[in-house]
Amino acid sequence: MAQTVRGVTARSKGAPVTIEEIVIPDPGPGEAVVVIQACGVCHTDLHYREGGISDEFPFLLGHEASGVVESVGEGVTDVKPGDFVILNWRAVCGQCRSCRRGRPQYCFNTHNAARKMTLTDGTDLSAALGIGAFSDKTLVAAGQCTKVDPTASPAAAGLLGCGVMAGLGAAMNTGGVGRGDTVAVFGCGGVGNAAIAGSQLAGASMIIAVDINDTKLEWAKHFGATHTVNSSRTEPVEAIRGLTDGNGVDVAIDAIGLPEVYLQCFESRDLAGTVVLVGVPRPDMTIELPFLEVFGRGGSLKSSWYGDCLPSRDFPMLIDLYQQGRLDLDGFVSETITLDGVEEAFHKMERGEVLRSVVVFGPGGAS
């Protein structure tokens, strides 16, 4: 039977989010209902609220989550009620032209639930990234549930569901950072600091963190930055060249998504280096690059969707590293909040006060 729970919705462009009663249908074939335990506040939720992703309001926000499977629909065999799962937005289809070529990490036709969650008046909700987890429960495609070790902290584990995975993977998968590489990461929010942690795990010898906020740069050191540059005071391209014998870095990662920052990445990489864009630009943004330099510097300009991750491969492995003390997921959790704290968490994010605010749910629903 359909259930009514509370969820955080964005009703119109730029308007503060509100908590609404939302209706969760029973899972259809291939679907699952998940009781949410924790859900991080990602900048992409704010992009949705600002109308930067699509105009399909109202949105049910939240997508960086862990929880316990409550029920599954017909034909679901990979997960069962009671499983502790991280939700992902890459439930690969296995059929599209990318999956068929053995590149499921780029799957062009990822699965979401076909049934719709709605407001109580029947209005369809657009679930952020096909998840919608600032809610007591959510309906997803079963493939969006990745089973992991249930002893992991829900708040920490959920972060792998988006921003932290995106950052780790931008360095480890898309950027291909390896032993002895030099790396610069622009923007040290949750995504950028995860790129720093990923670069360290991958064996980078120098990791330069760039941000305009000194607090973020302190946190960056905690995650493995060997050098920091405050780009509001110091020209970052010169600083990076200065630290690398005038050469630039092997991998430059834009974890913000601003044209001027992308240009700084472009200019601060070494010959044959790689630029990785993981920050999400706004629809009105354009970039202009010196075309001869695009050729002359060689290397590659790449974009990283979700850190090119494969949830079934990467989430359990990263939870192992977390459990072994090699990946500090807890360090990304700046504060835990309740559902009614999401709007304020956006403001804290804008003011640069947090890496991640994480909504934690109590036993009887949102605490």
Ligand X SMILES: NC(=O)c1ccc[n+]([C@@H]2O[C@H](COP(=O)([O-])OP(=O)(O)OC[C@H]3O[C@@H](n4cnc5c(N)ncnc54)[C@H](O)[C@@H]3O)[C@@H](O)[C@H]2O)c1
Phi-psi bin for 126: left (phi > 0), alpha (psi -120 to 50), beta?
beta
* Binding of residue 162 to Zn ion (CB under 5 A): yes
Answer for which of 146, 231, 334, 357 binds ligand X (CB under 6 A) is 231
Contacted entry of ligand X, Zn ion, none for residue 224, CB cut-off 5 to 8 Å set by kind: none
* Binding of residue 42 to Zn ion (CB under 5 A): yes
Answer for which of 32, 69, 87, 107 binds Zn ion (CB under 5 A) is 107
Answer for which of 19, 35, 96, 263 binds Zn ion (CB under 5 A) is 96
Pairing between β-strand 118-119 and β-strand 18-24 as defined by DSSP bridges:
antiparallel
CB nearer ligand X, residue 274 or residue 304 = 304
To Zn ion, the closest distance from the beta carbon of 166 in angstroms equals 7
Contacted entry of ligand X, Zn ion, none for residue 107, CB cut-off 5 to 8 Å set by kind: Zn ion
CA distance 263 to 290: 10
Pairing between β-strand 365-366 and β-strand 31-40 as defined by DSSP bridges:
unpaired
To ligand X, the closest distance from the beta carbon of 147 in angstroms equals 22
Q: Which two tokens stand for residue 136?
A: 């007591």
Asked if residue 136 lies in contact with residue 126, where contact means CB atoms within 8 angstroms, the answer is no
Answer for which of 68, 119, 201, 280 binds ligand X (CB under 6 A) is 280
Q: Which two tokens stand for residue 341?
A: 């704290």
Q: Which two tokens stand for residue 79?
A: 């997960």
3-class SS shares of the chain: helix, strand, coil, % to 5: 30, 30, 40
Instruction: Report H helices in the chain.
Output: 43-49, 97-100, 154-158, 163-169, 190-201, 214-223, 236-243, 259-267, 291-296, 311-323, 342-350
Compute φ and ψ for 39, nearest 5 degrees.
-150, 120
CB nearer ligand X, residue 105 or residue 213 = 213
Compute φ and ψ for 18, nearest 5 degrees.
-130, 155
Residues 44-73 that bind ligand X (CB under 6 A): 44, 47
Answer for which of 190, 224, 273, 311 binds ligand X (CB under 6 A) is 190
Answer for which of 68, 93, 119, 258 binds Zn ion (CB under 5 A) is 93
To ligand X, the closest distance from the beta carbon of 158 in angstroms equals 13
To ligand X, the closest distance from the beta carbon of 283 in angstroms equals 13
Q: At 239, which amino acid appears? A: A
Ordered DSSP codes for 14-43? TPPPEEEEEEEPPP-TTEEEEEEEEEE--H
Answer for which of 57, 305, 323, 331 binds ligand X (CB under 6 A) is 305
To ligand X, the closest distance from the beta carbon of 157 in angstroms equals 16
Say which DSSP state 52 is in.
S
To Zn ion, the closest distance from the beta carbon of 350 in angstroms equals 16
Asked if residue 334 lies in contact with residue 169, where contact means CB atoms within 8 angstroms, the answer is no
Closest residue to ligand X, judged by C-beta, is 189
- The structure tokens 């920091």 sit at 228
- Interacting residue ranges for Zn ion, rule: CB under 5 A: 42, 44, 93, 96, 99, 107, 109, 162-163
- Interacting residue ranges for ligand X, rule: CB under 6 A: 42-44, 47, 162-163, 166, 186-192, 210-213, 216, 231, 255-258, 261, 278-280, 304-306, 349, 352
